[in-house]
Amino acid sequence: MTIFHKLERKTPSLVPLFALFSLGLNALAIALLIFQGSLLVALKSKPAPTLVELSNGNSIRVGAIDHDDRSAQVVDQFVRQTMTMLYDWSGKVPDAQGKLVQDEGVNIGDRNRVTQPAWAASFALSEDFRPQLLKAIAQLTPDGVFDGSKEVILQIGNLSQPQPIPNTKGKWQVDMVAKLIFFDRTNKIGRAIGFNKQILVRAVDPPTYPPNLTPLQTVVLGVRQSGLEIYLIRDLAIKDSL
């Protein structure tokens, strides 16, 4: 018998040790999986947070929705506020102290001006639609708005419930029946024209709020915080207007 055979007979087999070690690892892995599963079950049963604290210290109540979903109330409020800012021209804006002063307007080129609220609200429009609508608003705005001799009021008679656009996701159509009423210093009765529009809205990513906002960033983020934008406004043909 050689020396190798003698060593083989005296050396204990390591196979049982490896088997026990593997069994221990498997048991540990199963325990970790069970623990992870219990955490997932607890997380699933835990109600979603409904209160979010903003950086300014205020708290708002929230609800979970899909990425491209918006409630009808949010769409309605966004459209109503944006259209009012775009087409309601009082000629007055608040200064840094909150006092109403004359709106000198914003020059958008080619000697065209729009009111400051209209310019601010235009950031709620899609980038490809914004320039042409601003130009149309400038052509419709009377020069007297900027010297205090004229005022235009948007009177919304009816704003339809937002209707999802067929075969799309995150897009809605809102029909607005309204009037533009033109006032001047010599005519307090006003001259009204029909202003019936079909407004197409879509969901976009809500903006983030970086620290130390510039005045322009504050304006842009303020009108886009709903996560919506208007990408088209077209005439609405109806039989019975206001």
Give the pLDDT score at 242: 40
In contact, 142 and 152? CB cutoff 8 Å: yes
- Model pLDDT for residues 46-82, shown as the tens digit of each residue: 666 655 565 555 555 666 667 788 889 999 999 999 9
Sign of the CA dihedral 103, 86, 231, 120? Answer: positive
218 forms beta bridges with none
pTM summary value: 0.73
- Topology (CATH level 3) of domain 69-235: Nuclear Transport Factor 2; Chain: A, (3.10.450)
Nearest to 115 by CA among 79, 153, 80: 153
pLDDT tens-place string over residues 6-21:
545 555 555 666 667 7
What residue type is 219 in one-letter code?
V
87 neighbors 152 (Cβ within 8 angstroms) = yes
CA distance 72 to 163: 9
What are 166-198's pLDDT values in tens digits? 999 999 999 999 999 999 878 778 899 999 999
